[in-house]
Amino acid sequence: MKKILNKKYIWVFVILFGVMGCKDDNFLKESPTTFYTIDNAFSTSTQVDQALIAIYSQIRDIWTIGNENTWQFAFRGNGTDMYDVPSIRRSNAFNNYGNINPDNGIFYSIYTAFYQIIAKANLAIYSANLPTMTWSSASDKAYAIAQARFFRAFAYRNLAELFGGVPIVTDITKTARFDFKRATRTETYQFAITELLAIEGDLPETTAVGGRLVKGACQHNLCELYLALGIQLAADGKTADAQTAYASSITYANKVIDGGTYSLMSSRFGARKNETTIGIPCYKNGVAGAANIFNTIPFTTNYYWDLFQEGSVNYQDGNRECIWAAQVDYAAYKIEDKRSKLGYSRIYGPVFRNGSPANLNGTLEDAGGRGISQIMPTMYTRDSIYAGKWGTDMRNSDVVFRRTFYGNMVTSPYYNKPIPWSVLYDNQADQSLDYPVSCKIATDKYTGLADGENMSNLFRDDYIIRLPETILLRAEAKQRSGNKAGAADDINLLRNRAQCTYLVTAADMDDNFKTILDERARELVYEECRWNTLLRMGGTIAVDRIKKYAYWPEAQSTLTFNYNLWPIPQTVIDANKDVKLDQNPGWTGR
């Protein structure tokens, strides 16, 4: 966040969570005056706002992979149809089902991360309602509570999409509990829906600064929740109720898409709108320095590229399709917030210096940035979705999804020439490390180089919700309602914007939702949480697509069972000793 969390309040939270975890009832009944308790730590609206900022910060860290943990890679899609790991990261593969079971720490880390958000939200709600709390106005209090309840609903939506029904906790827990009961998946979705319906009117249409929650974020999540609820109701055989839920999903999508606040960007805008071309310098043998520049590759920019430039992400920047963005700020990063960055060039970037060292070397823009490829796009993501008639697409243009790399090694036969992908994908090289570079993960203008930064990090804000996803959710709801023509029309809103030559028809809207999933991959690569999408869709969609598109063969050979939910972490089941928590289908005994 651009507003840095005051360290004093961090210690308040540490103390408070210590109190909540204490088993000594006598201690809890005391009213000490020399240190903080739950009831005396909060007295002003500023303190509640600091609690909310802590949640914004945690969500930013999860979304932007701030700690570069393997569980964050998985949450953002590793192991799905879209992403895998390169050869140098084989130990971090998340589709070798010989190693994936309820004891896998990735599931526990993701599960508990969302319950941490819930605990913080519950604390903020409790504190906001303390009789000692002072507020400048009733609307300020309502907005604070609305943000906290949104976060709680947001966490339960993610948990329900990934794990199914989970225990619903709305109170501050002051003593250790071992008797939590699982709600059903339907009940969990419905709880989140009820939360958001209650606070929709307390969220502003827009805000003066980026990053704060607005009504559109609530309505987008209601659209997704009603869609998810409908899918689950249909799976439970409640067809009529499912259709009612799909209709509600479309209603809330309409509020966002047709409400007049948001619109797709289809002309140049933002901080770099006047730059019609950019140039990527090529350095001899990959060694930096003006004297080593032997060529500059020109790229023609466009309005889709504008969407991912520093200073152009927020609604306040003139970007009318940004609904909610995580805030990243270089000044905050330099002062104390070392996670106020996007490590995407490092995390997602290719490693040509290992994959094709005879032709392309270095850690500079001409070699894709300072990538170490923690996770990589599968062949499906990098190539298949643009094959044949799907290839003419602004999202596949060289400035957006860069495929042109000039050999920079003097001894290479491709020195100062474009390297064919047949060479980069040659079996004698490591093609897992050679792939196109999206403008979402790299830039031609890295901030901070003069201060000693390298080309690992971006310092732009990052989308959590962007209008195209709302459009794709509405398309899915329409298709599930039986309106395939309407679904095709929605997808074509994006394809027309991307100047695609092929527009889809109702006949393209297949029952396995391949058309929608492919379009999500084109539009939302490096943005959506693919696991949420695949598991929310139910059936065998996740399993089928992992088997088909995983890069390494372990997925096909070890994924010998069907599932459409992640397992409840075994640690959680074991700790809840007073009430049995049932394991999700497919995972018992694994």
Q: What is the DSSP code string of 13-47?
A: HHHHHHHHT---HHHHH---SSS--TTTS--BHHH
| Separation of first and last alpha carbons in the chain | 41
Secondary structure in 3-state letters for 133-158: CECCCHHHHHHHHHHHHHHHHHHHHH
Cα separation values, 575 from 24, 31, 40, 146, 180, Å: 19, 31, 31, 32, 10
What pLDDT was estimated at residue 566?
98
327: phi > 0 → left, psi -120 to 50 → alpha, else beta; which? Answer: beta
What token pair was written down for 105?
């720490």
**Which residue, 32, 268, 41, is CA-closest to 24?**
32
SS3 558: helix
| Residue 477 token pair | 């709801």
pTM here is 0.93
- Output phi, psi for 111, to 5 deg: -60, -50
- β-bridge pairing 401-402 and 293-300: unpaired
Q: Which helix (H) or strand (E) holds 377?
A: strand 376-377
Angle at 278 between CA 273 and CA 280, to 5 degrees: 150
Q: Give the residue carrying structure tokens 């109190």.
A: 19
The Cα angle at residue 516 between residues 511 and 520, in degrees rounded to 5: 155
Q: What is the dihedral of CA 114, 115, 120, 121, to 10 degrees?
A: 80
3-state SS assignment for residue 433: helix
**Confidence at residue 5, expressed as pLDDT on a 0 to 100 scale:** 37
Question: Could you count the other beta carbons within 10 Å of the beta carbon of residue 34?
Answer: 4
The pLDDT value recorded for residue 35 is 56
DSSP 507: G
- Nearest CA to 435 out of 550, 542, 355, 493 is that of 355
Q: Give the count of beta carbons closer than 10 Å to the beta carbon of residue 109.
A: 16
DSSP 227-281: HHHHHHHHHTT-HHHHHHHHHHHHHHHHHHHSSSS-----S--STTTT--EEEEE
The rounded distance, in Å, linking the Cα atoms of 521 and 506 is 19
What pLDDT does residue 525 have? Answer: 98
> Residue 348's closest CA among 59, 76, 61?
76
In contact, 198 and 222? CB cutoff 8 Å: no
**Along the 590 residues of the chain, how does pLDDT read in single tens digits?**
444 333 333 333 332 333 333 334 443 344 444 456 777 778 889 999 999 999 999 999 999 999 999 999 999 999 999 999 999 999 999 999 999 999 999 999 999 999 999 999 999 999 999 999 999 999 999 999 999 999 999 999 999 999 999 999 999 988 889 999 999 999 999 999 999 999 999 999 999 999 999 999 999 999 999 999 999 999 999 999 999 999 999 999 999 999 999 999 999 999 999 999 999 999 999 999 999 999 999 999 999 999 999 999 999 999 999 999 999 999 999 998 888 999 999 999 999 999 999 999 999 989 988 999 999 999 999 999 999 999 999 999 999 999 999 999 999 999 999 999 999 998 778 899 999 999 999 999 999 999 999 999 999 999 999 999 999 999 999 999 999 999 999 999 999 999 999 999 999 999 999 999 999 999 999 999 999 999 999 999 999 999 999 999 999 999 999 999 999 999 999 999 999 999 999 999 99
Q: Which amino acid is at 469?
A: E
Residues 6+ apart with CB under 8 A from 346: 68, 369, 370, 371, 372, 374, 456, 457
Domain ranges of the chain: 278-306+343-458
Biggest distance spanned by C-alpha atoms of the chain:
78
**Torsion angles phi and psi, residue 459, rounded to 5:** -125, 55
Q: Which residue's structure tokens are 């002062």?
A: 335
Q: Which own/partner pairs from 225-228 qualify as long-range (CB within 8 Å, at least 24 positions apart)?
A: 225/153, 225/157, 225/189, 225/192, 225/193, 225/196, 225/249, 226/193, 226/252, 226/477, 227/473, 227/476, 227/477, 227/480, 227/536, 228/157, 228/160, 228/161, 228/189, 228/536
CB-CB contact of 460 with 326 (8 Å) = no
**pLDDT at res. 3:** 41
Closest CA to 396 of 344, 437, 434: 437
Alpha carbons 530 and 81: distance in angstroms, whole number: 8
- Length of the chain as a residue count: 590
